[in-house]
């Protein structure tokens, strides 16, 4: 009789989530650098795209492990959702960077730099949280960090609102308005998805409290 082989309970999930969060920090840092030091734009956008591809590979590996693992360390739906939301943050970072090149942005706005800085702060927080998933004794720390991520997302909402007011009040060029509105929305959406990650993590903590 053939032996049925069980995969390890973790199946590398914790390692992969930490790898995904680490990759996200690098991408968010590259985005902030793009807006703070707006030169070599094509090369910087290309590097962010490479990091987005790396994130896709990690996401694919997590989902592969999920489909072939019998017992998972946290609920299967939470693994899938956490994986997807991390990937969403990366996609919006890539989307914002790509549009600066496609739309031939001559110079980033101060509001864009503010939003990119908030994205980086959220990425750092997520990177700090991920190793805590391994240790139930430190789950309360996850909740504290998630509260801070929620605060940062609220801050991003306020920056977006101010950015749109500035855009419509001070810009008469319709094409510029369209371009920047889309870039702003991609940047703010990255913070929204970061908050979504925090919400999934809060749900995991509450289930295991």
Backbone phi, then psi, for 143, in 5-degree steps?
-60, -40
Q: How far apart are CA 134 and CA 132, in angstroms?
A: 5
Coil vs helix vs strand at 144: helix
User: Does the structure show a pLDDT above 70 at 207?
Assistant: yes
pLDDT of residue 71: 83
Average pLDDT over the chain, rounded to whole?
92
Asked whether residue 5 carries a pLDDT value surpassing 70, the answer given is no
Q: Is the pLDDT of residue 4 over 60?
A: no
Mean pLDDT to the nearest integer, 147-169:
95
Question: With contact defined as beta carbons under 8 Å apart, do 90 and 24 qualify?
Answer: yes
Q: Where are the beta strands (DSSP E) in 62-184?
A: none
DSSP state of 6: P
Top CATH class, 13-207:
mainly alpha
Whether pLDDT at 138 is above 90: no
208 vs 111: which has the higher pLDDT: 111
- Per-residue pLDDT, 10: 58
pLDDT category at 7 given cuts 50, 70, 90 is very low
- Per-residue tokens: 127: 């990177």
pLDDT reported for residue 11: 54
Q: How confident is the model at residue 9 (pLDDT cuts 50, 70, 90)?
A: low
pLDDT tens-digit map of 174-188 = 888 999 999 999 999
More confident residue, 92 or 72: 92
Please give the model's pTM, rounded to 2 decimal places. 0.92
Q: How far is CA 106 from the centre of its chain?
A: 26
| pLDDT confidence band for 1 (50 / 70 / 90) | very low
Report the pLDDT averaged over residues 63-79: 89
């Amino acid at each position: 009789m053939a032996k049925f082989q069980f995969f390890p309970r973790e199946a590398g999930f914790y390692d992969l989530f930490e790898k995904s969060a680490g990759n996200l920090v690098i991408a968010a840092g590259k985005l902030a650098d793009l807006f703070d030091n707006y030169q070599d734009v094509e090369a910087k956008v290309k590097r962010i795209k490479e990091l987005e591809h790396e994130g896709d590979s990690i996401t694919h590996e997590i989902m592969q492990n999920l489909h072939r693992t019998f017992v998972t360390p946290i609920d299967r739906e939470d693994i899938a959702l956490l994986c997807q939301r991390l990937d969403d943050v990366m996609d919006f970072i890539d989307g914002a960077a790509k549009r600066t090149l496609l739309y031939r942005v001559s110079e980033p706005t101060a509001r864009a730099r503010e939003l990119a800085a908030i994205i980086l702060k959220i990425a750092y927080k997520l990177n700090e949280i991920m190793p805590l998933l391994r240790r139930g004794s430190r789950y309360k720390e996850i909740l504290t960090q998630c509260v801070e991520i929620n605060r940062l997302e609220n801050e991003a909402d306020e920056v977006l609102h101010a950015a749109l007011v500035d855009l419509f009040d001070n810009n008469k060029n319709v094409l510029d308005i369209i371009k920047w509105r889309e870039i702003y929305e991609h940047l703010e959406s990255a913070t929204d998805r970061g908050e979504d990650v925090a919400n999934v993590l809060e749900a995991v903590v509450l289930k295991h409290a």
